[in-house]
Amino acid sequence: MAQEAEAKAKPRAVSPVEIKPERRTLSPGTPLSVRTLVLRPPSIPSVLSWTIESKRHRGYLIATALSPDAKQLATGGLDGIIRIWDAATGEFQRALVGHDSYVYDLAWSPDGRTLASGGSWDATARLWDVRSGLNLRSLKHPGYVAKVAWSPDGRMLVVSGGESGICLFWDVTVGAERGKVEHGRHVLSSVWSPDGASVAFTCTGQATQVFDTEEFKTRKSLGESALTETNYSAAWSPDSKQLAVATNVGTKIWDAESGDLKQTLAGPMTTVAWSPDGKVLATAYSGNAVQTWNTADWKLLKALPIGATALAWANDGSRLSLMTSSTVTLWDVAADKALPTIDASGPSSRAMWTTGKFMASGIGTNVVSVWDIATGKLAKKLEGHTAPITALAWAVNNKTLASASADKTVRVWDAQKGELLKKLEGHTAGVAVLSWAPNGKQLASGSHDKSVRLWDTVTGKSTKTLENHPAAVTIMDWNGKMLVAGGPSNTIFVWNTTTGQTVRKLEVSGQAQSLSWSPDGKVIATGGVDDAIRIMNPANGATLFKLSLPGDPPSVTALAWSAKGETIASGRANHTAQIWDPKTGKVAHNVAAMAPVQEVMWSDTLRTLAVGTTDRSVRFFDTASGKLRATLITDHDQVPAITADGHYRSDTEPELVYVVQTESSQDTLTPADFAKKYRWKNSSKDVRLAD
């Protein structure tokens, strides 16, 4: 591959395009976005709004874009905030805040001045002046925005999305719509040909469409609308004569003019990118190893030792950008090696908050980290697991911690001292879920071996094995006498843990995803892939109450009863959490959690609901008002907490920045620079997670 790229492609000269900014409509004191950490920013003279944000993304990456000069890299994803990085050093440069939903796509203008972003469910594409951080324009779309693509001259942007695949062609200089096409299908990719004459669209269940940008009609339909094939993405050759399409049955090379299939490269692929000199085609499949192909004879040049979900070449062909769900790596083509990887989204694990002194994190890693809740200091690192940790569970004393792992073991720790108390062995597959008995001396573990084991944590011995579960045990709750468990099936098992006998099998609608015993041990709450919570009597299998609330996706992924059982909290995959009266079926509060919910927890006073989400955050809501109080973030060796009104607490110098919107710019500042420029005093003592 290095030899193929000795002669660098010469970037085409592009005339700068001026995009006049639209009028600011943000009112002072209004949050920059519903997804920001500071939702109630105090008023500051000459500032429209501001927030505190983490340097790294909170949650997985979805999109990346390399600037034409290969000096800057833009990333976007679950948290809705765009981050700009120095491509050579990996140093964070700035955040661009404004989208109210996921960032699904990013594209740098040919002149390198403007970044286009697709904000998915906020139904906008935005144009950003990367030098000033200013949001120049917001282009409205009739549905969610999936893809954005620039014309080669940088004057047009095609914005694609919506359930019916509506694609709008915008003149970015004035913000005027110039054309429209509707595919009737989800658009998976859109790419403008280098000569500007065509746009190729790939859609679900449809042949690749080559669209004429002058007459706004389909020029060619490449392939058949075979239901067995999915055309994921496309890339043009530099001369606009060939189109490479990555599909689930191979990468297909088409003659764009005649519509003839010229070549098929074996193996399913999801992303494809043609080098600027036309000599190399890069392909990858769902994060697996990137392959590079010689376009002269279509033989494999090299399999890179790095996987990718998205690929992009630098304009001169010197770099190839490789994105995964959490990192971006630039491959130096001439040196045939990877440059330092940009850790763009930080750790995947969030902190498991408790009402005690300590909390823990480490799911997805091999090490448990124990944190002091009051100060945010790292107290202990608990090492020993030889595979990723899958579950953590605190005993009732909030001092003893159990960890489960894919290494088939459970470990019981004195978290305060950092000592291993017991290593529990016996499962024949990875352990997925844990549940303590109320006495804090017995522990249940559910595994992919389709069994539940009961343990005496004092002796370290397994006291019973509960078998005959039809699938992996991934959810579970134990009231000390009765244990309920489920997994990827619509059957919930109820076991008597004294006798080890199955008491009942409860049938639910779809796969169960959450379980919780009521405090009196008489009923259980179940949540699944539909939008309902079912309150069930395990003695007779009757459904006593059904609590429904529409949402997309509808899955109820977390449940927690209040101490006396008068209310129940639920968390959902649609980024919300609820507080219910289980008898009336009414929702007291429906709060925005900003990411799929994994856990809901009550404070001892019940005045706070903590909601743990997949964006490595725990959000704390006032149960009386439903308002966000603060957000706790896991960020490598820090767990900073940020209040909704703009104060933070961190044990060490935090990996946090202030983003400040004025009439003429959106600036990213260090905490020290923000304090100096705006005479702001952070008050860490005002950071209270729970009352």
Q: Give me the phi and psi of 367, to 5 degrees please.
A: -125, 135
Give me 394's structure tokens. 């605190």
Predicted local distance difference test score (pLDDT) of residue 215: 84
DSSP track, 456-482: ETTTTEEEEEE---SS---EEEE-SSE
The beta-strand segments (E) located in 339-384 are 342-343, 358-361, 368-372, 378-382
Cα Rg of the chain, angstroms: 27
Per-residue pLDDT for 285 more than 50?
A: yes
Task: Tell me the pLDDT of the chain averaged across its residues.
Answer: 94
Residue 114 contacts residue 130 (beta carbons within 8 Å): yes
For residue 4, name the pLDDT band (cuts at 50, 70, 90).
very low
DSSP track, 160-174: EETTTTEEEEEETTT
Which one, of 5, 15, 47, lies nearest residue 29 by Cα?
Answer: 47
CA angle 403, 409, 414 (to 5 degrees): 40
Residue 2 contacts residue 335 (beta carbons within 8 Å): yes
Neighbour tally for 668: CB within 10 Å: 22
User: What is the per-residue pLDDT across 312-321, written as a single tens digit (0 to 9) for each?
Assistant: 999 999 999 9
Distance (Å, rounded) from C-alpha 287 to C-alpha 328?
12
Pick the CATH number of 57-343 from 3.40.50.1370, 2.130.10.10, 3.40.50.1360, 2.40.50.140: 2.130.10.10
Helix, strand, or coil here: 195? coil
Residue 528 contacts residue 547 (beta carbons within 8 Å): no
Chain centroid to CA 350:
13
Element (H, E) at 675: helix 671-678
Distance (Å, rounded) from C-alpha 212 to C-alpha 644?
49
User: What is the per-residue pLDDT across 245-267, written as a single tens digit (0 to 9) for each?
Assistant: 999 999 999 999 999 999 999 99
* Extents of the domains making up the chain: 57-343
User: What is the per-residue pLDDT across 87-117, written as a single tens digit (0 to 9) for each?
Assistant: 999 999 999 999 999 999 999 999 999 999 9
Chain centroid to CA 273:
24
User: What is the per-residue pLDDT across 448-478, written as a single tens digit (0 to 9) for each?
Assistant: 999 999 999 999 999 999 988 889 999 999 9
User: What is the per-residue pLDDT across 339-383, written as a single tens digit (0 to 9) for each?
Assistant: 999 999 988 889 999 999 999 999 999 999 999 999 999 999 999
User: What is the per-residue pLDDT across 591-620, written as a single tens digit (0 to 9) for each?
Assistant: 999 999 999 999 999 999 999 999 999 999
Residue 527 φ/ψ region, left for φ over 0, alpha for ψ in the -120 to 50 degree band, beta for the rest: beta
Predicted local distance difference test score (pLDDT) of residue 424: 98
Name all contacts of 204-209 with Cβ < 8 Å and 24+ positions apart. 204/230, 205/230, 206/231, 207/231, 208/234, 208/243, 208/245, 208/254, 209/183
Sign of the alpha-carbon torsion through 29, 92, 103, 149: positive
Chain centroid to CA 468:
35
Predicted local distance difference test score (pLDDT) of residue 510: 80
DSSP code for 349: P
Predicted local distance difference test score (pLDDT) of residue 7: 41
Question: For strand 666-669 and strand 198-203, is the pairing parallel, antiparallel, or unpaired?
Answer: unpaired
Residue 194 contacts residue 242 (beta carbons within 8 Å): no
Distance (Å, rounded) from C-alpha 240 to C-alpha 256?
8
Per-residue pLDDT for 486 more than 80?
A: yes
Higher pLDDT, 238 or 227: 238
pTM over 0.75: yes
* Alpha helices by DSSP H, 325-378: none
Per-residue pLDDT for 1 more than 70?
A: no
Give me 423's structure tokens. 């290593």
